[in-house]
Structure 1
Amino acid sequence: MRFVLGFLLSITLITSCQKEREISLFNGQDLSGWHVDVPKMDTISNTINPFIIRNGNLVSLGTPRGHLITDAIYKNYRLQVEYRFTGEPGNCGVLVHASEPRVLYKMFPKSIEVQMHHEDAGDFWVIAEDIEVENMEERRGPRSEWGSLDGKKRRILNLTDNSENPLGEWNKMIVECLGNEIKVWVNGDLVNYGYNATAKEGQIAIQAEGSEVEFKKIALSQINELSN
């Protein structure tokens, strides 16, 4: 009986610790833990920072274009993002496994983008990295045109384009990166699953890519063998 109680207590403690592993990646007050990479800010002194905190939410103003990148490197995690377009629908994205900066168009870091573009949420865009999905040619185009840099087919279509909520409402995106696999859910629907990714770890980045987007949650939970 003592053994059973001890075992149950251990499981309880483990479960409790796992629940406590979720951490918010922004503190609702400033951009601690992140750094801004906006090329225009290098040369034009009065360029605004397109990433701000407003009413406790992280906001990507959309312009000038660039990225907000975590200082830390992550692997084997579940990322939860709650976002909405505040005005006209447009473009934004979450980049995972980010590393070398400005490898594409002198702006985009080496990474795998999980698209948030209105009505395309969950597409993969590869940026000097790569990933495979089922029905690859159907979802990416002719194999001879694939690539991960300028001029190549870098977009891999998601499985459904009807998972987003109406404009102005909050969407919940979950990106699970485990080993060389990436799974994406939008509002509870599994919208993409990729494997054999060429990267397994890296920084996480948020885009400023033309449209204003609010984020009320960006939180990460580590995944380990006990929580699989």
Structure 2
Amino acid sequence: MKKQITAISFICIGLLFVLNHCSTKTIELWNGKDFTGWEFILENDSLDVSEVWSVRDGVIYCKGIPNGYMRTESEYSNYTLYLDWRWPENESNSGVLLHMQAPDQVWPICIECQLRAGRAGDFVLMGSGTITVDGETYNNTRQFLSIGKIEESTENPIGEWNSYRIICQDNKITCYVNDILQNAGTEASLSEGRIGLQSEGGQIEFRNIRLEPLN
């Protein structure tokens, strides 16, 4: 009888583990084929979007000129965001825009996780907003306010893929570059909104853009 109870206990523990693991549903923000679920904003709105953003060999290619961004149609909060990026030819500038607010403009109110070469992991308050990093509260009263990353650059060379893992939970934002913690902020003034990728000066490629909701 004791052996039966022990066996049942292990089965129950296993089921709880499986149920807990399955409760985290991954949302593929980019389907790997086209731009379903995304909107585009360009500084020069007379251009065709396809001249700036396209899909090549299963990755998103961004020309980087003119300035602008692609963003999700839906708003999100409390999630872990994963994505890969690389510079196909030369180092340049871009960023991941979090908690984007209306109206669409270049640039919108949001909190950016920087992708500028050598600066991935910086926070940038765009338009307005506040965030506390390492005990210091930053209040943006200009167009941009940059808050430096923790470590030296952990980015890979040109042509190699890099990974971003960005955790947004309530008013906290934590970002990892190639699995190295690079920034952590609390008491952010924004906690939900759309997610965007910048076109800002040069060629960049993206892939594996997905989101895991936090329960």
TM-score for both structures, normalised by structure 2: 0.89
Cα shift at 1:94 = 0.1
> Between Structure 1 and Structure 2, whose CA radius of gyration is higher?
2
Report how many aligned residue pairs link the two structures.
Answer: 208
Cα shift at 1:215 = 0.8
Cα shift at 1:216 = 1.9
The amino acid of 2:203's aligned partner reads E
Tell me what 1:112 maps to.
Answer: 111
Q: If each structure's strand is expressed as a fraction of its own residues, which one has the higher value?
A: 2
Tell me what 1:143 maps to.
Answer: none
Tell me what 2:181 maps to.
Answer: 190
Q: What does residue range 95-174 of structure 1 map to in structure 2 within 5 Å?
A: 95-102=97-104, 106-127=105-126, 128-134=128-134, 136=136, 146-150=139-143, 154-174=145-165
User: Residues 200-225 of structure 1: CA distance to partner in whole angstroms, max 9, x if unpaired?
Assistant: 1110000000111111211111111x
Contact 2:120 2:153 in 1 (8 A): no
Q: Which residue of 2, 5, 9 corresponds with 2:15?
A: 9
Q: What SS does the corresponding residue of 2:195 show, helix, strand or coil?
A: strand
Tell me what 1:67 maps to.
Answer: 69
RMSD: 1.9
Structure 1 unmatched runs, 5+: 141-145
- Separation in structure 1 between the aligned mates of residue 20 and residue 214 of structure 2, nearest angstrom: 13
Q: In the alignment, is residue 50 of structure 1 matched against residue 52 of structure 2?
A: yes
Contact 1:85 1:214 in 2 (8 A): yes
The amino acid of 1:86's aligned partner reads P
Q: Which residue of 213, 216, 221 corresponds with 2:212?
A: 221
TM-score for both structures, normalised by structure 1: 0.84
Q: In the alignment, is residue 88 of structure 1 matched against residue 90 of structure 2?
A: yes
- The structure 1 segments of at least 4 consecutive aligned residues displaced by more than 3 Å after TM superposition are 45-49
User: Residues 125-174 of structure 1: CA distance to partner in whole angstroms, max 9, x if unpaired?
Assistant: 1012221101638xx7xxxxx52433xx6010111232111111110111
User: Residues 89-129 of structure 1: CA distance to partner in whole angstroms, max 9, x if unpaired?
Assistant: 01000000111234xxx511110000000000010110122
